[in-house]
């Protein structure tokens, strides 16, 4: 986009076309006009980049609604955004659309992190029949596993193994473990580690 087509230039040109000098207009009014052109440019750019039917439907869901229809702005929105006027008129507001995508993304992340924690190199499964409990996430009974290392070390390992994966914070990483009660924190008394003969004899002596 050239400098002459910038949102600020368009806003100033609108004021000149209305017979007003941009310098004489209150700052708040200029900001509102600038915001309008900036949002329209963002919408236009998103429409050009996202040519898929699902992506364009999501944009239409945002742009079409009772307020736009009440003030009869469908035709103007269509002209400024590049979306079809007919599609905008028929689109119904779906407020839970974004929540569905967020929930789906969280579910995928949850399964990836849980699979990482349940790997044999990151945790050890307890063998007893009574070593099982229900998880708060799926309510199913799963065998208890003890982590082989501390959470911070496992988090660093996960990040190093998945540098291209979606971003996950340490708090989210811990939250996923907390939602799965069968994944227990490391405890030295529960760790099944290989000891040399000298230390193993000392451990059996107690």
pLDDT of residue 140: 77
Q: pLDDT 10s digit of each residue in the chain, 206 long?
A: 444 588 889 888 988 999 999 888 898 888 888 888 888 888 888 777 777 776 777 777 767 767 777 777 778 777 777 777 666 766 555 554 555 666 777 788 888 888 999 999 999 888 887 887 777 666 778 888 899 888 999 999 998 888 776 678 899 899 888 888 888 887 654 444 444 444 444 444 54
Q: Which of the 8 DSSP states describes residue 5?
A: G
In the beta sheet, which residues pair with residue 124?
146
Let me know how long the chain is: 206
CA dist., res. 3 & res. 134, Å (int): 61
Q: What pTM value is reported for the model?
A: 0.43
Residue 145 contacts residue 126 (beta carbons within 8 Å): yes
Q: Is 18 helix (H, G, I), strand (E, B) or coil?
A: coil
């Amino acid at each position: 986009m050239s400098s002459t087509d910038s949102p600020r230039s368009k806003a100033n040109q609108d004021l000149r076309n209305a017979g007003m000098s941009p310098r004489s207009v209150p700052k708040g009014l200029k900001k509102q006009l600038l915001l309008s052109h900036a949002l329209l440019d963002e919408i236009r750019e998103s429409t050009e980049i996202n040519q898929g039917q699902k992506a364009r439907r999501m944009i239409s869901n945002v742009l079409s609604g009772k307020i736009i229809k009440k003030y009869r702005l469908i035709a103007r929105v269509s002209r400024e955004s590049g979306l079809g006027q007919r599609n905008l008129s028929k689109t119904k507001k779906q407020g839970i659309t974004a929540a569905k995508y967020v929930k789906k993304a969280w579910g995928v992340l949850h399964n990836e992190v849980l699979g990482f924690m349940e790997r044999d190199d990151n945790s050890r499964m307890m063998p007893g029949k009574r070593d099982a409990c229900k998880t708060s996430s799926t309510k199913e009974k799963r065998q208890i596993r003890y982590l082989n290392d501390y959470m911070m070390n496992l988090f660093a390992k996960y990040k190093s193994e998945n540098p291209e994966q979606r971003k996950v914070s340490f708090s989210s990483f811990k939250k996923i473990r907390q939602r799965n009660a069968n994944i227990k924190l490391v405890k030295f008394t529960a760790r099944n580690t290989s000891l040399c003969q000298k230390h193993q004899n000392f451990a059996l002596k107690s």
